[in-house]
């Protein structure tokens, strides 16, 4: 639909022999001094202005944005495209398939359920590191992947044929965010003759990696992504924008990872949740595109919505390097300059808040043992480990367990005996999107491996090593530089192209290592080049997880322990018996840059991305179901038709107050979506494991929760089941357990308690602390919560995506008044809760607070006002309809 064009912004842009329609920002007063990110939003409103949902007043409010004001103006942002990965993307396609049937049930046309914006899904989350440290690791892991995921992959192939404008990048290609910046991102879009900024939302919080290219995008829950695919705008408040000035240049030996961990710490301390972060200053102009992408990738770890860099010559050079055609590059340059979106290092836009970092002050760093913002200077890592390990029950000397390794079990073959201690590094993995897109750190890792091998160093026998690059291009430049043999020699063989360790797909440890850990409950560590190191995420045997640059991952594999000082402790001895220290094998920056210049070419990208959607023989030989609607297999344990639309009527029932609710879980601070949403392996004695066993699935075929996200029965049973979850209704118990007050308060699983409460018609609530729902944009954290029968969450504060997703699933997000919490109100979780005032939403407004009445076990009552965190009229519409999908479905019919 054409814009109403109230500001007469519509015009043309001539680029070479091509002519494009554009909407000029200069038509709006105040646009010139806006931050880059808000210019992108302003163009979006100009182009989609319809006089109803997007009006001249919205556009005027953005142009005259008061950088010092608190956000209070709602706008409707229409993303240009949607990007998905397979864990979160499969449920999206499942829901779209289900919506087709629901539309037909309501008398509508199923073919209306189609992506109205380009949607691309990259299969990258399903590869697990079962095999490592051997030359055939990649082939064998791919075989396992196809064996486990055949049903899902067939379903996605059906979706690719059944839905218009939906494409799938097959397994073994790369990580979604790296494929996005190397191939899928347009930077400037063209559709129906109109040129406009490329923007996207993605079903993975690290969608922000594309911010490094100047593309405004961020992670949303799967339910929001589905709505965006169906043409629904993202409802948001015009945000505050934090300007982050970069000056100086990083010193020798300091990596992009060190820079991003320092920025993460700084922004977390400042507080940027719900805000845009935009980088500017002289330091930006000298920052390679890959480093910008690394910084943008970690936006969720800061807590910001995005972390964006404007367009400049470095952007154009990257587009050329990665194989974009000259016509596209010319358009990007001309459009950015025409719209005032080209980086001027001397210019300082209006910003709400400002920070600054002199890159020359950054030092080598790691982060951990359980949060990405907990940065540790590498020089202080040994001392900090000694303090942190005490929090894991190690008081005094590090404990030790003698181990005999068998050749059959070990990835490296041979036999050896050793002592495994607390603090041992049992996983060293170069993995994840954050760093495996960055040639500077990847090449540094390979050169460090070369130097280590030439000095006779070896990896400790208890370390599970792995290399999972973000794209095949990495393999191409490693081969061109002749560096693969050195990585292979240290056990960092190619294991797959995918997220792997960073999302919990590290695979099992060798049996002899795992049994030794469990024998004494050792506190061992993983070191990975990723962005996520939350408790219970990486491997069930590993308690302490550290983020580090790729070369440091190799260094820790050589050291074999976190109880190590790289300045004073040798990594080993050379053939002459001389001690070898990290400084002796760390590659010089000039060498790294020289090898990059000689081995990375445009041809690598054009060859690997020549037909990115084709896939290998395995993918092409999969039988593909046909038809506009999917033929559900009632025996499938991977893909099942969900129950969201069962019994749905055309008109929504009025919302009601909540009465007589029980507490399903009472949780503390920093409970992440990893604690809530099912992830990682499925334990045999868990409700999900028992369900699969009852369906005749062998234990070896359980696969991961992520791979079974298309089966709501599995996912409900795994919600709140993280092994590190602490439900404060219980004393000293970790995992997915609670008390069932219908059975005298006895301990049971959260799923079984939920089933009992729902059978009795009793609604449920969750009590939580600060930063509830931080972490990945996991839609199942909200879907599972809703399907467990939870009607409201009462927390001290929320992370943006999860709060929005709760509303999208019809769950009420409430917030304690400032300065109060469950403890100050004396809430134990044994009480019965009622929430009144909800019915005011039926009148079209949004009450600021609701009254929560608490009835204790002795019959006494107390009440308090809770802030209703439905922040926009659009969110209120979703809640009134029972969820965002129901709202979209009714609007389409």
Question: Tens of pLDDT along 540-588?
Answer: 999 999 999 999 999 999 999 999 999 999 999 999 999 999 999 999 9
Higher pLDDT, 559 or 680: 559
Nearest Cα to Cα of residue 226 among 198, 199, 200, 203: 203
Same-domain status, 406 and 345: no
Same-domain status, 94 and 129: yes
Same-domain status, 241 and 135: yes
CATH classification at residue 798: 3.20.19.10
**pLDDT recorded at residue 415:** 59
- % helix / strand / coil in the chain, to the nearest 5? 40, 20, 45
Higher pLDDT, 14 or 111: 14
Structure tokens that stand for 455 in this block: 């000095």
Is 50 exceeded by the pLDDT of residue 411? no
Same-domain status, 458 and 354: no
Q: Print the domain residue range for 814.
A: 658-675+728-892
Is 90 exceeded by the pLDDT of residue 777? no
Higher pLDDT, 148 or 418: 418
Domain finish residue from 580, 600, 620? 600
Is 60 exceeded by the pLDDT of residue 22? yes
Same-domain status, 291 and 407: no
Alpha helical stretches, state H, 221-352: 222-229, 256-270, 282-285, 289-297, 299-302, 313-321, 326-338
In terms of phi and psi (left: phi > 0; alpha: psi -120 to 50; beta: otherwise), the region of 172 is left
Same-domain status, 47 and 141: no
Report the DSSP pairing between strands 861-868 and 812-816.
antiparallel
The predicted model gives 140-145 an average pLDDT of 94
Provide the b/e sequence for 474-502 (b: ≥16 CB within 10 Å): bbbbbeebebbebbbbbbbbbbbbbbbbb
Is 70 exceeded by the pLDDT of residue 202? yes
**Residue 681 pLDDT level (bands cut at 50, 70, 90):** confident
The predicted model gives 599-608 an average pLDDT of 95
Query: Cα-flanking dihedrals φ and ψ of residue 139, to 5°?
Result: -60, -40
CATH classification at residue 163: 3.30.499.10
Neighbours of 110 (CB within 10 A): 16
Same-domain status, 54 and 90: no
Domain assignment present for residue 27? The answer is: yes
Same-domain status, 539 and 440: yes
**pLDDT recorded at residue 680:** 76
Domain assignment present for residue 423? The answer is: yes
Cα(197)–Cα(877) distance, integer angstroms? 29
Domain assignment present for residue 437? The answer is: yes
**pLDDT recorded at residue 412:** 55
Report the DSSP pairing between strands 74-77 and 234-237.
antiparallel
**Residue 825 pLDDT level (bands cut at 50, 70, 90):** very high
Is 70 exceeded by the pLDDT of residue 414? no
- 3 state SS of 770: coil
Tens of pLDDT, residues 441-456: 999 999 999 999 999 9
**pLDDT recorded at residue 872:** 79
**pLDDT recorded at residue 409:** 46
Cα(174)–Cα(124) distance, integer angstroms? 6
Is 50 exceeded by the pLDDT of residue 410? no
**Residue 1 pLDDT level (bands cut at 50, 70, 90):** low
Structure tokens that stand for 663 in this block: 């507490």
Domain assignment present for residue 154? The answer is: yes
Percent of the chain's residues with pLDDT above 90: 80
Domain finish residue from 343, 361, 379? 361
**Residue 74 pLDDT level (bands cut at 50, 70, 90):** confident
Is 80 exceeded by the pLDDT of residue 493? yes
DSSP annotation of 337 reads H
Is 90 exceeded by the pLDDT of residue 89? no
Domain assignment present for residue 885? The answer is: yes
Percent of the chain's residues with pLDDT above 70: 99
Domain count, the chain: 4
Nearest Cα to Cα of residue 84 among 220, 264, 186, 192: 220
Q: How far apart are the first and last CA of the chain?
A: 19
The predicted model gives 473-493 an average pLDDT of 97
**Residue 405 pLDDT level (bands cut at 50, 70, 90):** confident
Is 90 exceeded by the pLDDT of residue 71? yes
Same-domain status, 262 and 334: yes
Same-domain status, 44 and 96: no
Burial of 548 (0-12, 13-18, 19+ CB in 10 A): buried
Is 60 exceeded by the pLDDT of residue 491? yes
Domain assignment present for residue 748? The answer is: yes
The predicted model gives 745-774 an average pLDDT of 97
Domain assignment present for residue 150? The answer is: yes
Is 90 exceeded by the pLDDT of residue 113? no
Is 60 exceeded by the pLDDT of residue 408? no
Domain assignment present for residue 480? The answer is: yes
Same-domain status, 57 and 131: no
Q: How far is CA 99 from CA 112, 642, 649, 791, in A?
A: 10, 10, 13, 23
Nearest Cα to Cα of residue 145 among 503, 620, 500: 500
pTM of the model: 0.86
- The mean pLDDT of the chain is 94
Helix (H), strand (E), coil (C) string for 527-583: EECCCCCCCCCCCCCCCEEEECCHHHHHHHHHHCECCCCCCCCCCEECCCCCEECHH
Is 70 exceeded by the pLDDT of residue 98? yes
- 3 state SS of 259: helix
Is 70 exceeded by the pLDDT of residue 108? yes
Same-domain status, 330 and 446: no
């Amino acid at each position: 639909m054409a814009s109403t064009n109230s500001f007469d912004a519509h015009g043309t842009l001539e680029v070479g022999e091509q002519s494009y329609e554009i909407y000029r920002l200069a038509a709006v007063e105040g646009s010139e001094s806006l931050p880059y990110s808000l210019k992108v939003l302003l163009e979006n409103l100009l182009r989609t202005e319809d006089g109803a949902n997007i009006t001249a007043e919205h556009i005027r409010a953005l142009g005259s944005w008061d950088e010092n004001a608190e956000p209070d103006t709602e706008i409707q942002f229409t993303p240009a495209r949607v990007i998905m990965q397979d864990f979160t993307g499969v449920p999206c396609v499942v829901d779209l398939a289900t919506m087709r049937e629901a539309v037909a049930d309501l008398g509508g046309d199923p073919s209306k359920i189609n992506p109205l914006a380009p949607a691309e899904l990259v299969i990258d989350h399903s590869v697990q590191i079962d095999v490592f440290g051997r030359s055939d690791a990649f082939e064998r892991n791919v075989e396992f992947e196809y064996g486990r995921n055949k049903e899902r992959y067939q379903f996605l192939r059906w979706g690719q044929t059944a839905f218009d404008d939906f494409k799938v990048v097959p397994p073994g290609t790369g990580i979604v965010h790296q494929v996005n910046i190397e191939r899928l991102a347009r930077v400037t879009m063209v559709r129906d003759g109109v040129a406009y900024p490329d923007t996207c939302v993605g079903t993975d919080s690290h969608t922000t990696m594309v911010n490094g290219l100047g593309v405004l995008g961020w992670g949303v829950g799967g339910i929001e992504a589905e709505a965006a695919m169906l043409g629904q705008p993202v409802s948001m408040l015009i945000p505050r924008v934090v300007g982050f000035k970069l000056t100086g240049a990083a010193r020798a030996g300091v990596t992009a990872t060190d820079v991003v961990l320092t920025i993460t710490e700084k922004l977390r301390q400042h507080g940027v949740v719900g805000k845009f972060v935009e980088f500017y200053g002289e330091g930006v102009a000298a920052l390679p595109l890959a480093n910008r992408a690394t910084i943008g990738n970690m936006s969720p770890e800061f807590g910001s919505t995005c972390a964006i860099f404007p367009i400049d010559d470095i952007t154009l050079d990257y587009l050329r390097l990665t194989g974009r055609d000259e016509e596209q590059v010319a358009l990007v340059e001309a459009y950015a300059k025409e719209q005032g979106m080209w980086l001027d290092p001397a210019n300082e836009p209006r910003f709400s808040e400002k920070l600054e970092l002199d890159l020359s002050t950054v030092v080598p760093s790691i982060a951990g043992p359980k949060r990405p913002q907990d940065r540790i200077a590498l020089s202080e890592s040994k001392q900090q480990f000694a303090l942190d390990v005490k929090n894991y029950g190690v008081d005094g000397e590090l404990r030790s367990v003698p181990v005999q390794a068998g050749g059959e079990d070990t990835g490296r073959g041979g036999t050896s005996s050793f002592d495994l201690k607390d603090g041992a590094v049992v996983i060293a993995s170069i993995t994840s999107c954050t760093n495996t897109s960055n040639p500077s750190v990847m090449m540094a890792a390979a050169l460090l491996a070369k130097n280590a091998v030439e000095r006779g160093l070896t990896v400790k026998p208890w370390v599970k090593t792995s290399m999972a690059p973000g794209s095949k291009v990495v393999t191409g430049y490693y081969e061109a530089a002749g560096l693969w043999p050195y990585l292979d020699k240290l056990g960092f063989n190619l294991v797959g192209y995918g997220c792997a360790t960073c999302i919990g797909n590290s695979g099992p440890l060798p049996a002899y290592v795992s049994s030794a850990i469990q024998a004494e409950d050792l506190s061992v560590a993983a070191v990975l080049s990723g962005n996520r190191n939350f408790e219970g995420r990486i491997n069930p045997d590993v308690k302490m997880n550290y983020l580090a640059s790729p070369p440091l991952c190799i260094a820790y594999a050589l050291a074999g322990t976190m109880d190590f000082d790289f300045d004073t402790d040798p990594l080993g001895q050379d053939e002459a018996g001389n001690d070898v220290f990290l400084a002796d094998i760390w590659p010089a920056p000039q060498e790294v840059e020289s090898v990059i210049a000689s081995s990375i070419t445009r041809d690598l990208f054009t060859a690997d991305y020549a037909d990115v959607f084709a896939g290998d023989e395995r993918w092409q030989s999969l039988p593909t179901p046909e038809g506009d609607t999917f033929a559900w297999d009632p025996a499938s344990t991977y893909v099942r038709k969900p129950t969201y639309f069962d019994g749905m009527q055309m008109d929504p029932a009025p919302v009601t107050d909540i009465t007589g609710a029980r507490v399903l879980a009472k949780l503390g601070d920093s409970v992440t979506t990893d604690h809530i949403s099912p992830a990682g392996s499925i334990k045999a004695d868990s409700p999900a494991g028992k369900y699969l066993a009852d369906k005749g699935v062998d234990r070896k075929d359980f696969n991961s929760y992520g791979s079974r996200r298309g089966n709501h029965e599995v996912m409900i049973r795994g919600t709140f089941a993280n092994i590190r979850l602490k439900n404060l209704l219980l004393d000293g118990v970790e995992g997915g357990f609670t008390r069932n007050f219908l059975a005298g308060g006895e301990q049971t699983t959260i799923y079984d308690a939920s089933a009992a409460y729902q059978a009795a018609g009793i609604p449920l609530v969750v009590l939580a602390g600060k930063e509830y729902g931080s972490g990945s944009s996991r839609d199942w954290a909200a879907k599972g919560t809703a399907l467990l029968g939870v009607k409201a969450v009462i927390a001290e504060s929320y992370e943006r995506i999860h709060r929005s997703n709760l509303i999208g699933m019809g769950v009420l997000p409430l917030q304690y008044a400032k300065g109060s919490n469950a403890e100050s109100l004396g809430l134990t979780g044994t009480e019965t809760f009622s929430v009144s005032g909800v019915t005011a939403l039926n009148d079209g407004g949004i009450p600021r607070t609701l009254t929560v009445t608490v009835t204790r076990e002795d019959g006494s009552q107390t009440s308090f006002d809770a802030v209703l965190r439905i922040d926009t009229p659009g969110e209120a519409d979703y809640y009134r309809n029972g969820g965002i999908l129901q709202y979209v479905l009714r609007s389409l019919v």
